[in-house]
Structure 1
Amino acid sequence: MKVFDVGQEVLQAQGEVMQRAAMRIGRRVAYFVIAAIFGFFALISFHAVLWAFAYSVLHFSAFAAASSVLGLDILFIIIFGLLGTRNVADPVEFEARLRRDRKVIEFKQTLAVSTLVGILLGPLGRFTGRQAMGGLRNIFTRK
């Protein structure tokens, strides 16, 4: 039954790895959505308000006001775009991958041992054992 227990542990570790990877991908998608929203903001009227503020209150020229608003938009796009491109596994996922890899190795070893024991104790093993014992008896018995 150890084969089944180890196999179940392998599947549990793989499930945790997949769950954590899905969470990481979901977080990345959320960052990209935020970056897209700020990219969309670059096209709407809020920028006209910023332009007017820079033009009238800060006494920028029309070109400098437009450039400062565009620079702020590009800054937000770069920040959230870089956050979206991060692909770093968290410690729990890393530990789950290590546990899965160890359990896969243990599963392979357990399966190999159980297969070997099955061959030795099965019909083929009993037949071979009887033949070997018969050969040893023939060697050591008097005729």
Structure 2
Amino acid sequence: MIGTLLGGIATSPWMRAALRYGAIALAVLLFLLSLRRSGERAGRLAERFETTEKANDVHRRMLEAAARRPRDHHELAERLREGLFVSAERRRCPPVVEYDHEFQARAAEEVVLLPDRSAIAAMLADYSVMRDQARACRER
């Protein structure tokens, strides 16, 4: 029975055309599925490459930092005195907001009104030191 059914399919011209188009559709479908898989593989490889690149960059920076290491305690003390622990190109200096003369005069009048040993006055003195340090950082 199966033999006669297959024999009938093979002899009918429209069934042969349907089988031909079905085989073509199946081949295209399999091709698209293989493209998807290879695309996924390529994505995973690109991700691995990016991770490896980041790790190599970290290792390179660690080696550069080790190369800049002080050779002895005298060089370490010299760097401490001169503030040379951070290279000039990597130094980050905070911005200093510039106030006009009128604003500073008004602030001075308000500070005079503060009670003796005011916490706000102590904080402003610390802020003044930090502004001086930020200016010195920018001048290096």
TM-score for the superposition, normalised by structure 2: 0.35
TM-score for the superposition, normalised by structure 1: 0.34
Structure 1 or 2: more helix by fraction: 1
When Rg is computed on C-alpha atoms for both structures, the one with the higher figure is 2
